[in-house]
Structure 1
Amino acid sequence: MKVLVAVKRVVDYNVKVRVRSDGSGVDVANVKMSMNPFDEIAVEEAVRMKETGVATEVIVVSCGVTQCQETLRTAMAIGADRAILVESAEDLQPLAVAKILKALVDKEQPSLVILGKQAIDDDSNQTGQMLAALAGLPQATFAAKVVVSDGKATVSREVDGGSETLSLTLPAVVTTDLRLNEPRYVTLPNIMKAKKKPLETIKPADLGVDVAPRLKTLRVVEPPKRSAGAMVPDVKALVEKLKTEAKVL
């Protein structure tokens, strides 16, 4: 069984981002970049499937600038077999990424496509669902447990009312939640091995995909700063402030 995993290069989650002075976006110059944490979970799950004999090959895909090769090498150090970089200088939106992945699904014919449920930079939570719709595949989002056997994937996921279990006929699309697994630590020997694994670079035009943006960002602003708190002597004073100042009572 072939598994396709999509990964994204994002600003590291430990970095505090800053908005550009012109309000056009977030300043990513000279900041640490890493693999999207949800995508790292997706790679780990696919590699575990290979280690247990469920999967025979794990392919990782990333869309973006040349530096995304670093992210793909990290995924191969975790255990992926080969990588594909769809190189584009444009800021790709979820629909464009979904179209690229759909073209790769048609080309590679994987039995399972795994993605992180969302990226921590834009938090769109759209690519997996769009891919499933474009490819006409069953989907299960926010997976907390995935079991593949007999041509089906059984996915447990958390919902507002508790939890539910879905049974999908392969091929299918699954997006991962934080509770699915804990990614392994990448060792130096595996990093060295990853440098020798195949990495193919193509362009969106090679796949016949139009990546022109459909949405335009008008302005990006930082959240308003919180005002300082105030100490009150008793409950009566607190209630009075809630009535007169906060006006929530």
Structure 2
Amino acid sequence: MRVPIIAGNWKMNKTVAESVEFVKKIREQLPPANQLETALAGPTLSLVSMREAADGSPLKIAAENCYYKNEGAYTGETSPYALYQAGIHHVILGHSERRKYFHETDEIINKKIKAALTDHLCPIVCCDDTMGRRTAGKKVHWVVNQILSDAKGLSSDEIRHVTIAYEPSWAIGTGQSADPDEAEEGCYLIRQTIAYMYGKEVAGDVRVLYGGSVTTSNINALMASRDIDGVLVGGASLDPETFLRLVNH
């Protein structure tokens, strides 16, 4: 059985104090971890304080990114080994904003996934289709190529520890969410791609999420979809009361 997960991605928002206060407000009102995994990805500066505030609760703290080296002359980057040693559980990799603004390629993301797994982090790997390809009638099929490239060289055991998030770029931060059928189609294609690469049994173990303008209005329909194992939430995760309504949907 795949335990569903709802993860918030704060992006470059909140101070350390604001992050800690948020965790304190929600930590006692989360579902049991064996029913739903709850995670929050905050700015690197806040992660240790967030983890300390979350201790003893079901909440997992995630990083929004990491590098593919553990140490060295890489000014401004974050070591996956240092994240693990700080008690961080997950790391988001390949977000469309990283691909668009920081020019991350599938080759770089593939290296980051392997480094995160080596250092015992659970990667949440994002993949998307673009509005251009969608309006051209090709819908979500581009996601297949990204999965083939991002997961290249991973073993069956390794891919089982990867969570994949389908985030159509046209839906992120726009208020325009994919409808449940579109979201299901993207997640289904991801699972079929994993089955093609590793077999149906492995594909049945991999969690696939939807992300892109998730709200309290569409959370129930998304979570009821067969191939959607949870959601990666952006703007709606910034308010504690809204986030609690999402995780207690």
Counting helix residues as a fraction of each chain, which structure ranks higher?
2
Larger Cα Rg: Structure 1 or Structure 2? 1
TM-score (norm 1): 0.30
Counting strand residues as a fraction of each chain, which structure ranks higher?
1
Higher relative contact order (CA 8 A, sep 6+): 1
